[in-house]
Amino acid sequence: MKLATIRTADGATRAVRVDDDRLVGLGAADVGELLAAPGWRERAAADGPTHERAGAVYAPVVPQPSKIVCVGLNYRNHILEMGRDLPEYPTLFAKYAETLIGAGDDIVLPPETAAFDWECELAVIVGAPVRRARGAAAEEAIAGFAVLNDVTCRDWQFRTREWLQGKTWEATTPLGPYLVTPDELPGGVRPKVAISTVLDGETVQRDNTGDLLFDPVDLVEYVSTMITLRPGDVIATGTPGGVGHARKPPRYLRAGQSLVTTVDGLGSCVNRIVAGTDAATRAF
């Protein structure tokens, strides 16, 4: 199944199932609310009111997750291009829900950064509350996957040894266009699919999610050891090589550019980079 959160004409949102050229209403305000309901899989598969898919505007597939846990340094080639050793444990940091945008929304370039970088990622969407999950329980907790780009302010990220301040800028992280359940993907809960970033028509990242050092099941096990994962929570699994910061010379995003993030079988986020216009911003 493909599940999405779409925006309606009155400014609200609605959870839908995406069936070829039509959308099926699921009686929930968004996918996060749907996943929190008992028996969500049966509810998502049931018949409901239908609408044309053409012209649908996608919100973040889960607009308000309770947690967005991100993994750094999880593809071998990216670790090597950043000049680091292969990690023994996942490198974790967090984002907040305010960072999330829809698959077609504009990415806001903050005026405070001169090093705005791309990072295509496979996102895991949690579908059940789990703590200290292992094996089959961790697999069952994975509702599905979505496309994410962990757009990063590198100059802020490396101000200190902690990365959060470069990673959690508002309206910078597309998540969507929909959640795809594991049964639709080669590899299931450990998908093996191509992932890429295209910038203004040029492919700048391309890899396969089968090359993850810590796969989605590993990450559900690891993160749930520390804290309860809840329906709608997001785990961003890390980016492959090809980021702008590692190029010589470095290359960064500029206003007016188009960023296309694709994971085979999950669709694409197609976003324009726009200059931030918040009058309240100030330099630090």
Q: Which fold has domain 63-275?
A: Fumarylacetoacetate hydrolase; domain 2 (3.90.850)
Read off the tokens for 208.
């396969």
β-sheet bridge partners, residue 147: 122, 176
Q: In the Cβ-directed half-sphere of 212, how many Cα atoms lie within 13 Å? A: 30
Q: Render pLDDT for 52-101 as a digit per residue (tens, 0 to 9).
A: 999 999 999 999 999 999 999 899 877 777 788 888 999 999 999 999 99
The rounded Cα 226 to chain-centroid distance in angstroms is: 21
Judge whether 123 and 146 are in contact, CB under 8 Å: yes
Please state the domain extents for the chain: 63-275
Q: Render pLDDT for 183-213 as a digit per residue (tens, 0 to 9).
A: 999 999 999 999 999 999 999 999 999 999 9
Cβ atoms within 10 Å, residue 172: 27
CA angle 217, 222, 228 (to 5 degrees): 100
Q: How far apart are CA 56 and CA 63, in angstroms?
A: 16
Give the CA radius of gyration of the chain. Answer: 18
Mean pLDDT by 10 residues, the chain (284 residues): 97 96 97 97 96 95 98 86 85 97 98 98 98 98 98 97 95 98 98 98 97 96 98 97 95 98 98 78 40
- The answer to whether the pTM exceeds 0.75 is yes
